[in-house]
Amino acid sequence: MAEMIVADKGGKGGKPKPKKHTTRVDLTPMVDLGFLLITFFMLTTSLLKPQTMELTVPSKDDVADADANKVKASQAITILLGKNDQVYYFFGAAENGVDPELIKSNYSSDEKGLRKMLMTKNAEVMNNVNQLRIDKANRKVNEEQFKAKLSEFKSAKSAPTVMIKATDESNYKNLVDVLDEMNICNYSRYAIVDITPDDIALIGRKFPQDK
């Protein structure tokens, strides 16, 4: 066959046969380029989005008539944030000049930690919410019912109210940690309140070594 073709072309003479190029292109450099760009994009992107903690604080006007919604002393828990990651709490309020019992705590989840205390105090709500979570896992309640129930349980009348008072020496992490404990222990009624000189004096009296 080849011979015939050669003979054919040869007969005509003159016209040279155009060389048949293959249409294949070497793609190696293009692959290199592709991977280079991938590397660049991988390094410059942030796939992980940070979490946020939503916080709503009362406006100045609300604070002004705070007397109207004074917390019932029997349901109040006050958490004081001191310096060097110290944290204290007491129940109720100072009455007739008698100091409430101030207890030193910490941010861990062990026996003496804040979480244990907060959970015990909020046991009713905790139980309800845990049951609700189990129900949800078993698909007994749907997403909407879950949300409605959750806020209903959390705002139960019997749930204690927490006042968070941070001293100027405490840091931002302490504040976030306590707010976090509120979330973990399903508290819905808590407020960040300005610390009073009385509270600082109380820490000084009970734990003079921390002053």
Partner 1 sequence: MPKVKVPRKSTAVDMTAMCDVAFLLLNFFIMTSNFVAKEPIVVAIPSSVSEIKIPERNIMTVLIDKDGKVFFGVDTQQDRKDILENVGKAYSIEFTPKELIEYSKLNMSGVPIDKMKGFLALSNDEKDSEGAKMGIPTDSITKQFATWVKTARQINPELRLAIKADSNTPYKVVKRVMGSLQDIKENRYNLITSLKKVSTK
Is 143 one of the binding residues for partner 1 (CB under 8 A)? no
Least distance from partner 1 to the Cβ atom of residue 209, Å: 21
Is 211 one of the binding residues for partner 1 (CB under 8 A)? no
- Smaller CB separation from partner 1, 72 or 173: 173
Tokens of 176: 């976030």
Is 22 one of the binding residues for partner 1 (CB under 8 A)? no
* Binding letters toward partner 1, positions 105-134, x by CB under 8 A: ----x--------------------x----
With CB under 8 A as the contact rule, the residue among 42, 68, 98, 137 that binds partner 1 is 42
With CB under 8 A as the contact rule, the residue among 22, 23, 56, 142 that binds partner 1 is 56
Is 169 one of the binding residues for partner 1 (CB under 8 A)? yes
- Smaller CB separation from partner 1, 105 or 122: 122
| Three-state DSSP state, 103 | strand
Where does this chain touch partner 1 (CB under 8 A) — which range of 69-77, 138-146, 178-186, 201-209?
178-186
Least distance from partner 1 to the Cβ atom of residue 195, Å: 9
Give the Å distances, CA to CA, from 5 to 2, 8, 18, 171.
5, 5, 14, 91
Is 49 one of the binding residues for partner 1 (CB under 8 A)? yes
- Smaller CB separation from partner 1, 58 or 204: 58
Is 142 one of the binding residues for partner 1 (CB under 8 A)? no
Tell me how far apart the alpha carbons of residues 145 and 154 are, in angstroms, rounded to a whole number.
14
Is 60 one of the binding residues for partner 1 (CB under 8 A)? yes
User: Cα(first)–Cα(last) distance of the chain, in Å?
Assistant: 105
Give the Å distances, CA to CA, from 43 to 40, 50, 62, 169, 204.
5, 17, 47, 39, 51
User: Dihedral through CA 172, CA 175, CA 177, CA 179, nearest 10?
Assistant: -140
Largest CA distance in the chain: 126
Tell me how far apart the alpha carbons of residues 133 and 123 are, in angstroms, rounded to a whole number.
15
Tell me how far apart the alpha carbons of residues 209 and 134 are, in angstroms, rounded to a whole number.
46
Tokens of 204: 């000084």
Q: Note whether 159 and 124 are within 8 A (CB).
A: yes
Residues that bind partner 1 (CB under 8 A): 26-28, 30-31, 34-35, 37-38, 41-42, 44-47, 49-60, 81, 109, 130, 166-177, 179-180, 183-184, 192, 194
